[in-house]
Structure 1
Amino acid sequence: MSKSLFFVVLFSALIVQGCSNSRPALPDLPSIESKVNLHKTWRASVDGNFGESSERFNLVAEDGSLFFVTDKGTLYEIAQENGDKKETIPTDYKPSAGVMRHGDVVYFGTYDAQLVAVSLSTQSVLWEKTLSSEILSEATYAAGKIAVQTSDGWLNLLDAETGDPIWRAKEDLPSLTVRGTSAPVIADGKVIAGFSDGKLKAYSLQNGSLQWSYDVGKPEGRYEIERLSDIDGRLVVKNGVVYAVAYNGTLVALSIDSGSPLWQRSIPSSVGVAVKGELLVAVDMKSKVIALNAKNGMEVWENKTLLDRDLISPTFYRDYVAVMDRGGYVHLLDLVTGEVAAQKVADNDVPSGSRMVVSDKQLFILTPNSSVTALSY
């Protein structure tokens, strides 16, 4: 390589690196007339933050508690009512994604490719299993088995009690992918997972045989960056239908039995959808919020007032759908019209550290400055 060419390449690399570490300022907030008083009910400080991605870590809201892990490896159980800490379990691991809970056991994955099972009652690690690559989404439990996906394209099914492998399946990765994976789901005797090549696949829970496959995201374009088609948003299964969306592709509703498409829309997205009754809400790559009829895919409404605010996955919350932006603001949208009915900064103008989770009348959020916030109205 000539010296001049070397400096061109080096300069280009520095520009790309600089761009990746800086983000444009958010647009101004829309002016609204609040219809409800969305306010903070409590905030709890914890040890550690929540990783590199707002969608990767999660809260589990069950039995009056919130369960989660921080990037320092500390596992928490705190009270939903007031944020009081019930259990604090330090570990030596480096979590790379959120948690899955079944009974007394909480599971989480690490950057070192470990899946870890921790007992809440004994505050001890029951087992750890080293897989093939880092784990970038939470695991899923059903019928004594755990499904978990690794960043190198392997889908693994393990025994929940021992961590022993039952079967695994591999999907080849494209040369360029979005960093992350969707969490697999288990339903109707199948393990369903989305992959970085845009494929959604269903495998037999019992033996791992392929049941069906569907191309949600179809790589198109001359350049690799144009061909990104990852399925990174969380999958939703409701009433025998699985809903999935690809980064540069399609929002689709498939029959869980056969994988046949029931309907599809051109709505590229890197985050998941929310489904409640006959209403499906999605957020596209420009942060346009779109509501569709979940049965036929017909548009119900769209909201463009939050464009370019980098919204995370929508969550149904009481009479509204909640979305959160990179500035740390939670917005409540009317289910009928899509209009913003309330907005509230969750925690000191910082973005979410996790997907939001709802329990009863409260909305819970992890934020990257080492705190958990509860909002209500």
Structure 2
Amino acid sequence: MKPVTWNRRQLALLGLAAALLTGCAGSGKPKPADLGPNPGLLGVRQAWSTKIGEVAYPLDVQVSGGQVALASSDGTVLALDARSGRELWRASAKAKLTAGVGSDGKTAAVATQGNEIVAFEAGRELWRQKLSAQVLTAPFVAGGRVFVLGADRTVTALDGASGRRLWTQQRPGEALVLRQPGVILAVGDTLVVGLSGRLVGLNPLNGTIRWDAPVATPRGTNDVERLVDLVGRVSRVGDSVCTRAFQAGLGCVDASRGTVAWTKPSSGYQGVHGDDRFVFGPESDGKLVAWRRSDGERAWVSERLRYRQLTAPLALGRSVIVGDESGIVHFVSREDGSPLTRVTTDGSAIVAAPVVADDTLVVVTRNGGVFGFAPE
């Protein structure tokens, strides 16, 4: 297997993706509308806050019961008690990170800029394993194994106790890849990964393909136009897995059979979340959209948060929760997208999709602020 190397076209695409993620900074950048008074229709209080180092990579905050695992760009990895914010353990990967954190509550794993997967248990380094390709998606830890999705579309299974390579599944690489987290999760006894514009079900014991479901297909006449990649986060309800294809569309797949339920065109680069009725996600310009989970038809569209560079959402109770580039966390109604309340952090961008653990909403900012919010 050859290592991933970046040519000029690939680097150009990475620059394009970065520009999209930062809102194409410049004098022509649209200005967000004024938010107006906080409606305050939900009671939300800040329960605690703490600090880690700067977070300048695509962090995935991992929840296991009442424990939250996270990491900063410099390689600091830690676990917090979600209810109190108390630090449970802290460790260092001794290198800057490109992806993390994956955790099952016992083993936590991150990926370094040197293409190493480093695993920890209770703050103690267990092992590190060198891979041939860069990793941009947080490792997935389950069943005593660590599963890794490489930037070259390679899926690798490592033994959770030793880091020993168990199997590798290689799919044909594309001319260009997206520098953004992809899709990897488990549905029942199937490992589900995003490979280009397809959701693929693998046998976690040996990596053989069980099914292959197309969510989006390449179009266009050059490599940039033909780029299709699935991005995290996803919305899973039972066997239904809904995911977004970068700037192309979104769709839902029945992961028990590997069949596509529906696909719809959509221009967005952040992942989705949802419940049994709706799938929620932001478009590239910040419009927040709800699609019906049953058939993919739009239920509502809210333009109140346009141009605010939204995170992937979290569906929680009667709210849909998103963070923005100014450190504000917005709560809107899941029924129609109307604003319910908002809370502030440290003024730097929210860098990871919000998560909930032990009835506490946890958000992380670029400056390394970690905030826990609770209902009043």
Band the TM-score falls in, shorter-chain normalisation: 0.7 to 0.9
Contact 1:60–1:99 under 8 Å retained in 2: yes
User: For residue 145 of structure 2, what is the aligned residue in structure 1?
Assistant: 145
Query: Shift of residue 25 of structure 1?
Result: 6.1
In the alignment, is residue 97 of structure 1 matched against residue 99 of structure 2?
yes
Q: Aligned pair 1:50/2:49, yes or no?
A: no
> 1:171 Cα deviation (Å)?
2.5
**Mapping 1:248-287, distance limit 5 Å:** 248-287=247-286
Q: Give the structure 1 partner of residue 4 of structure 2.
A: none
The question of whether the paired residues in 1 share the 8 Å contact of 2:191 and 2:203 is answered with yes
Aligned to 2:64: 62
Alignment of 1:4-19 (within 5 A): none
Return the match for 1:107 from 106, 109, 113: 109
Q: CA deviation at 1:178?
A: 2.3
Equivalent in the alignment of 1:365: 363
TM-score (norm 1): 0.86
Cα distance, 1:327–1:152 mapped onto 2, change above 3 Å: same
Identity of aligned residues (%): 21
For residues 83 and 41 of structure 2, the distance between their equivalents in structure 1, rounded to whole angstroms, comes to 24
CA distance in 2, matches of 1:368, 1:267: 27
Task: Indicate how the Cα distance of structure 1 residues 261 and 102 shifts in structure 2: closer, same or farther if over 3 A, else same.
Answer: closer
- Deviation sequence 1:245-276 (CA, Å, 0-9, x none): 10132211112133221122212322211122
Q: Determine which of 78, 81, 99 is the counterpart of 1:79.
A: 81
Distance 1:227 1:286, change over 3 A: farther
Q: Which amino acid aligns with 1:375?
A: F
Aligned equivalents of 1:298, 1:304: Cα separation in 2: 18
For the 8 Å contact 2:82–2:358, the answer to whether it is kept is no
Pair 1:31 & 2:36 matched? yes
Q: Deviations over 1:210-255 (max 9, x none)?
A: 2222332222123433323211222333221221210132211112
SS of equivalent residue, structure 2 residue 224: helix
Task: Indicate if the aligned counterparts of 1:353 and 1:368 stay in contact, CA closer than 8 A.
Answer: yes
Q: Distance in 2 between matches of 1:253 and 1:80?
A: 31
SS state of the match for residue 225, structure 2?
Answer: helix
Supply the AA of the counterpart residue of 1:354: A
Residue 26 of structure 1 and its aligned partner are, at CA, apart by: 4.2
Aligned to 1:240: 239
The corresponding residue for 1:41 is: 47
Per the alignment, residue 353 of structure 1 pairs with: 351
Q: Structure 2 unaligned runs (5+)?
A: 1-11
Q: Residue 206 and residue 80 in structure 1: after superposition, are their counterparts in 2 closer, same or farther (change >3 A)?
A: closer
The aligned counterpart of 1:217 is: 216
One-letter identity of the residue aligned with 2:54: N
Mapped contact 1:318–1:361 kept (Cα < 8 A)? no
| Contact 1:273/1:282 (8 A) holds in 2 | yes
Q: Which has the larger radius of gyration?
A: 1
Kindly provide the amino acid, as one letter, of the partner of residue 353 in structure 1: V
Q: How does 1:91-240 map to 2 (within 5 A)?
A: 91-120=93-122, 123-195=123-195, 197-240=196-239
Instruction: Report Cα offsets for 1:255-313 as digits up to 9, x if no partner.
Output: 21332211222123222111223222122222221112222223222211212221110
Distance in 1, matches of 2:261 and 2:83, equals 41
* 1:124-179, Cα deviation, whole Å (9 max, x unpaired): 21111111222211111232222111112211112212212222112233323321
Q: Are 2:231 and 2:243, in contact at CA under 8 Å, matched by a contact in 1? A: no
Q: Cα distance, 1:63 vs. partner?
A: 4.2
Take 1:286 and 1:223, find their aligned partners in 2: how far apart are those partners? Answer: 24
Tell me which amino acid in the other structure corresponds to 2:335. V
Instruction: State the SS of the aligned residue for 2:230.
Output: coil
Q: How many residues align?
A: 354
The alpha-carbon distance between structure 1 residues 327 and 83, as it changes in their structure 2 partners (threshold 3 A), is same
Q: Deviations over 1:26-73 (max 9, x none)?
A: 413333533124443322122x22233xxx212223343322121222
**Deviations, residues 89-129 of structure 1 (Å, cap 9, x unaligned):** 23413222121223432111111111111121xx3211111
Aligned twin of 1:334: 333
User: Relative to 1, partners in 2 of residues 1:114 and 1:91: Cα closer, same or farther, differing over 3 Å?
Assistant: closer
Secondary structure (helix, strand or coil) at the match of 1:233 reads strand
Matched with 2:301 is 302
1:64–1:190 CA distance, 2 compared to 1 (3 A): closer
Gaps of 5+ in 1: 1-12
SS at 1:232 equivalent? strand
1:376 aligns with 2:360: no
Q: 1:140 to 1:227 in 2, by over 3 A?
A: same
**Local SS of the residue matching 2:231:** coil
Q: Give the Cα separation in 2 of the matches to 1:164 and 1:292.
A: 42
CA offset at residue 346 of structure 1?
A: 2.2
